[in-house]
């Protein structure tokens, strides 16, 4: 618990005293604008203009108004140092319906409220994952796990930016808990809400579809609920703004083009090696998922397969944003809980486990050390080392996903195939 308090204070102090200071200095030197820099703001303002004024949130006019708040002024293409991210709406239109209660207020209190909402969701989802994995820890150990999760670079960045990835991660944990607790209709509704970030849900939804088909008579309820809920959201959106789907997909393509976003494997290995790694990971995941399709939701194999799918999702989505790595938390919990089994399997497992834990621990260690040094040395000197804690942020999702995949693949292959439920 003492160690958790130290790294928690270190992680948040590092962001406030080192990273933010570095970003402000760089923005000043490059004459780059800095506004509220909240990832919630483009969604909030787009929803406000759509719901209250009937405007297209994907339009260039609304995008420029978003930039005025997000960056402090509209971006200028003639300025070489201006950010490339246009900060457009870039979400499914139905996210506006979920934000509807907030559009009648000023953004500042909404921003603060959303920060604490995401913090609560993150804490609740970590505790929920411990329950789903049936890991019976002492209250102090649970507090330590929560504290370590909240002090990870992924969680801190997500909270600082008010990023909806943290909300989606919580919704996915809730949906799986509802499935396990035999509330399939509610699970379907929650999963439909989680599609506000479809790239984070598609792999899990594909496997749940296969899992459902394997025992349709017992499992169709969540699928029917999900399909109905999503159809309602899409239909209402299309009724209010026809052809919004085309605008949304065009926004996604534009985002990929002007930001050059790439997956973690692309950034680490480059193409075509990254494609080969992703193909191998996907093939192994398909094998594990296929063999687990007959397990009922209340069996450990179901939730373990779900943790694998979330980890592989982080590996394969076409963006390497650190806040998406909150989806790695359940896989990390599995790896730590089953460390003895993993290390006893082979030398490759032992080496992979140690390497993964070193990569995961590095940001905590380095950020805590840098935070402490920031109270002693001058800002310009600490600024030279601001990125040191981020050295392993690209490697972490690769290592975690491949290790949990190796572990689940070995467990699945070693175990006999499960017959269909009778």
Alpha-carbon distance of 179 to 188, in angstroms, equals 9
CA distances from 235 to 48, 239, 243, 248, 328 (A): 20, 6, 11, 15, 33
Round to whole Å and give the CA distance between 163 and 365: 24
- Residues 367-398 have pLDDT tens digits of 999 999 999 988 878 888 999 999 999 999 99
- CA distances, 129 to each of 86, 142, 342 (Å): 35, 11, 20
User: Is the distance from CB of 325 to CB of 331 less than 8 angstroms?
Assistant: no
Mean pLDDT in residue range 40-54: 96
Is residue 321 pLDDT above 90, yes or no?
A: no
What pLDDT, on a 0 to 100 scale, did the predictor assign at position 422? Answer: 36
Give the pLDDT score at 259: 66
pLDDT value, residue 414? 64
CB 284 within 8 A of CB 405: yes
Nearest to 159 by CA among 61, 37, 254: 37
Token pair belonging to 90: 């870039």
pLDDT tens-digit readout, 69-99: 999 999 887 888 888 888 889 899 999 999 9
Measure the CA–CA gap between 267 and 101, rounded to whole angstroms. Answer: 39
- Residue 418 is classified by DSSP as P
56 in helix, strand or coil? coil
Domain boundaries, the chain: 2-74+96-414
- % residues pLDDT > 70 (the chain): 97
Separation of alpha carbons 394 and 263, rounded Å: 9
């Amino acid at each position: 618990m003492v160690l958790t308090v130290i790294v928690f204070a270190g992680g948040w102090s590092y962001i406030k005293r080192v990273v933010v200071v570095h970003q402000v200095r760089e923005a000043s030197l490059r004459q780059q604008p800095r506004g509220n820099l909240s990832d919630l703001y483009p969604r909030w303002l787009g929803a406000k203009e759509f719901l209250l004024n009937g405007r297209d949130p994907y339009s260039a006019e609304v995008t420029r108004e978003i930039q005025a708040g997000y960056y402090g002024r509209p971006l200028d293409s003639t300025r070489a140092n201006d950010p490339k991210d246009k900060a457009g709406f870039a979400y499914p239109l139905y996210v506006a319906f979920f934000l509807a209660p907030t559009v009648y207020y000023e953004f500042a209190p909404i921003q603060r409220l959303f920060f604490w909402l995401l913090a609560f969701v993150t804490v609740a989802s970590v505790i929920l994952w411990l329950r789903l994995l049936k890991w019976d820890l002492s209250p102090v150990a649970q507090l330590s796990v929560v504290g370590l999760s909240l002090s990870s670079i992924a969680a801190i960045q997500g909270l600082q930016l008010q990023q909806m990835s943290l909300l989606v991660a919580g919704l996915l944990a809730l949906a799986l808990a509802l499935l396990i607790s035999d509330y399939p209709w509610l699970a379907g509704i929650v999963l439909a809400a989680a599609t506000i970030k479809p790239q984070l849900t598609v792999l899990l939804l594909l496997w749940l579809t296969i899992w459902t088909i394997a025992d349709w008579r017992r499992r169709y309820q969540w699928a029917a609920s999900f399909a109905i809920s999503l159809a309602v959201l899409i239909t209402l959106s299309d009724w209010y703004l026809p052809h919004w789907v085309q605008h949304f997909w065009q926004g996604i393509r534009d985002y990929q083009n002007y930001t050059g976003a790439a997956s973690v494997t692309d950034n680490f290995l480059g193409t075509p090696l990254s494609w080969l790694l992703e193909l191998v990971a996907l093939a192994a995941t398909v094998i594990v998922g296929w063999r687990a399709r007959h397990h009922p939701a209340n069996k450990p194999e179901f939730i373990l397969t779900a943790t694998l799918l979330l980890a592989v999702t982080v590996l394969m989505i076409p963006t390497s944003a650190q806040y998406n790595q909150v989806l790695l938390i359940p896989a990390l919990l599995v790896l730590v809980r089953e460390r003895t089994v993993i290390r006893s399997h082979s030398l490759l497992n032992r080496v992979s486990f140690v390497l993964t834990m070193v990569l995961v621990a590095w940001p905590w260690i380095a950020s805590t050390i840098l935070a402490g040094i920031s109270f002693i040395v001058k800002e310009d000197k600490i600024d030279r080392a601001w990125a040191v804690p981020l050295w392993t942020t690209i490697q972490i999702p690769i290592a975690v996903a491949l290790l949990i995949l190796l572990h689940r693949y070995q467990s699945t292959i070693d175990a006999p195939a499960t017959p269909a439920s009778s």
